[in-house]
Chains A and B, each alone.
Chain A
Amino acid sequence: MRKWMGIFTAVLALLLAVSTAQAGKLEDIKARGKLVAGIKDSQQPFGFVDEKSKEIVGFEIDIVKYIADQLGVKLELKPVTSSTRIPLLTQGEVDIVAATMTHNKERESQVDFSNTYFMTGQRLLVKKDGGIKSAKDLAGKKVGSAKGSTSEQNMKKAEPNCTVVSFETYPEAFLALKQGKVEAVTTDEAILVGIKYSDDHPEDWDIVGDYISAEPYGLGVVQNDSKFRNYVNQTLIRMWETGEYQKVYNKWFGKDTKNYIPLVWKMDLWP
């Protein structure tokens, strides 16, 4: 009898050890007590440093804060750039990426995406009355963008005869636009709106052109962890159904804010 109890306990212990070894991101985060989120820190209004409080705030910060609250853990913010967000996620430095990352087929081979949490499209930011009205006007001219973004590739497809100058961040690309080094800055419209209204004279800049591409933003998570991804998706749906998403959206993109973009898009929900 004692022998069987001993063997039974050993097998049970082994099973437990094996199951914890295969524990996914969800268990890791709960055990750690904090969610490490990769966010932008110079991208109004998605993730930027608040002038007064000197903290990183923004639309995406509020979204990951909601997820952390639902998990019952603390939130730790880790600034990333367009080119570092995927490597940091795949290496495990961050658990989730909320950094204006477009969900596209190429990136699917590297990371998994949550449902779309924001919808926008790629357009052009130009000097008012500079004569640029669409992508075709940029033939033979220079266009600024950020490294590692989908905007570089799409711009080349839309107008093969332009030169795309890629900077590390969007503020640098905008500085180049202000100094006349490039004729336009191209990226997602929501980011352009943030850039335009972060300037001292927003009326000097226009957002023009047809949508060069559709840009659905998704939260990035590590591949092959359905449990965590499902949890994130369900949290997003709960956020929409309880009205919390709309509240957060209006806080950053509502009528009273600088970056007014009406909420015409509806999140993918399932019952």
Chain B
Amino acid sequence: MAYTFDWKLVLSGEYGDWIVQGLTITLKISALAIFFSLVLGTLIAVLRLTRIKPLVWFSAAFTEFFRNTPLLVQIFFWYFGSYSILPEFVNKWLYRQDFEFAAGVIALTVYTSAFIAEDIRSGIFAIPKTQIEASRATGLSFLQSMRFVILPQAFRIIIPPLISQFLNVVKNSSLVMTIGVMDLTYMTRQIESYTFHGFEAFTVATLIYLAISLVVSLSVNIYNKRVLKLIPY
């Protein structure tokens, strides 16, 4: 039996709807994870540079632990493992919400924030030490000098690796299908098992992921060129 391609099948009708639904979930998860991991990553990076030793240790431990364990294991930990750690009433409340989605976002955020923290740290080290000396000399506190002097410069330097991390988030979001989140990859496999036209389904999914990645890197690069580089520092 020769394989007959049927592109209409996956692009319209019921299966086309599934792809759109999956795409929506993927975009939601990716957007939330990118935003929160930026916030968390910045926090962890700054903690690493304070003079309070416990904070430095916490930040180092956090980074090393979440960078060096596989994302899939972390996803399972947050989804299945959290049950044993959290109290009963918290669990009951969690499961009435969309806990699969939340666990996926949390796992993705924490995982990516460890990488982003390291990128930010390397960006900070790339700034001449004179910057921080000068900013402290003008009377700014540690946090103020971070916020107004160091971090803005660091972020501009690390735009390329940051884009890589954002693209990783979009691709890693496909792993949440293992805990039942109906993202694009989940829907693709669903279509494959219902219609057996896996080739068309996977091709469409690949092109969609490619499109998302290109849009993300293009928009960040445009933001960099048009906004960040033009700030007179």
Contact = CB atoms under 8 A, between A and B. Distances in A.
Contacts of A165: 100, 180
Given A83-B189, A166-B180, A179 B196 contact: no
Contacts of B91: 179-180
A46 B189 CA distance: 25
A167 B180 contact: yes
A223 B92 CA distance: 48
Interface range for A: 20 to 34
Contacts of B204: none
Contact of B80 (A144, A179, A224): A179
B190 to A, nearest CB: 8
6 contacts: A83-B189, A83-B193, A110-B196, A166-B180, A180-B92, A223-B1
Interface in B178-233: 178-180, 186, 189-190, 193-194, 196, 198
A168 B177 CA distance: 9
Which A-B residue pairs are the 8 nearest by beta carbons?
Answer: A165-B180, A148-B193, A179-B83, A181-B95, A110-B196, A180-B95, A166-B180, A168-B178
A65 interface: no
B78 interface: no
A106 B195 CA distance: 8
Contacts of A166: 180, 186, 190
B99 A181 contact: yes
Interface string B87-104: 000011001000110000
A106 B196 contact: yes
Q: Which of A106, A153, A179, A181 has the most CB of B within 10 A?
A: A181
Interface range for B: 10 to 19
B189 A167 contact: no
Contacts, number: 41
B39 to A, nearest CB: 28
Interface string A170-207: 00100110011100000000000000000000000000
Interface of B: 1, 80, 83, 91-92, 95, 99-100, 178-180, 186, 189-190, 193-194, 196, 198
Given A106-B196, A167-B180, A147 B99 contact: no
Interface in A96-155: 106, 109-110, 144, 147-148, 153
B100 to A, nearest CB: 7
Contacts of B196: 86, 106, 109-110
Nearest to A224: B1
Contacts of A176: 80, 180
Contacts of B194: 106, 153
B197 to A, nearest CB: 10
B189 A148 contact: yes
Interface in A213-257: 223-224
A144 B186 CA distance: 15
Contacts of B186: 166
A63 B91 CA distance: 43
Contacts of A144: 180
A94 B100 CA distance: 34
B189 A175 contact: no
Contacts of A153: 194
Contacts of B92: 180
A109 B190 CA distance: 17
Contact of A147 (B95, B193, B198): B193
Given A175-B80, A179-B80, A147 B189 contact: yes
B211 to A, nearest CB: 25
A170 to B, nearest CB: 13
A83 B180 CA distance: 14
Contacts of A168: 178
B7 to A, nearest CB: 18
Nearest to A153: B194
Nearest to A149: B193
B15 to A, nearest CB: 13
B72 to A, nearest CB: 11
